[in-house]
Amino acid sequence: MATQRIQGHPVLIIGAGRGGHALLEMFIEDNLVQVIAITDTNPKAAGLVLAKKQGIPVFTDTAEAIRACKDYPECIVYNLSHDETVAGEVSRVFGDKRVASGPEVKLFWQMSFLQNS
C-alpha cells in the first residue's frame, strides 16, 4: 500500500486515560500534528470518547493500532500506557523506535495539565 499523505505530522496515542485525553486535546488544536489513531484497552476511556467525536480512529488493541499506522512511516507514537513493550512492537512495524514514552510523555502530560489549569 502507498504511503498516506496527511496534513500535519502523524501521531498515534497509546493510552486514552487522563494523560492521553489531555494530549489528544492539545494535538487537536495543533495544525502541525494529525492524530491518526488512539488506542486504549478500556473502550470507555475518555480519550477514545473524544476521538470518536472528532472522527479519529480508535482501537482497543495496541498492536492492531500500530499496524494500522504502518502506512505513515514518519508516525510518532506517544505511549501513555505504562507498557514499555510497546517500543518493541513499534520497532517491528516501523523498523526503528519512534516512541515517546516514560519521562518524555510525562513531561507532555504535565505541560498539558498546567495549560488546562
Q: Return the closest-CA partner of residue 79 out of 95, 98, 59.
A: 98
Give pLDDT tens digits along the chain (117 positions): 444 556 789 999 999 998 889 889 989 998 899 999 999 999 999 999 999 999 999 999 999 999 988 888 888 888 888 787 887 888 788 776 677 776 666 666 566 555 555
- Residues with Cβ within 8 Å of 70's Cβ and at least 6 positions away in sequence, in order, are 93, 94
- Output the CATH code of domain 10-83+94-116: 3.40.50.720
- On whether the CB atoms of residues 93 and 37 are closer than 8 A, the answer is no
Instruction: List the chain domain ranges.
Output: 10-83+94-116
Q: The whole model's pTM is what?
A: 0.82
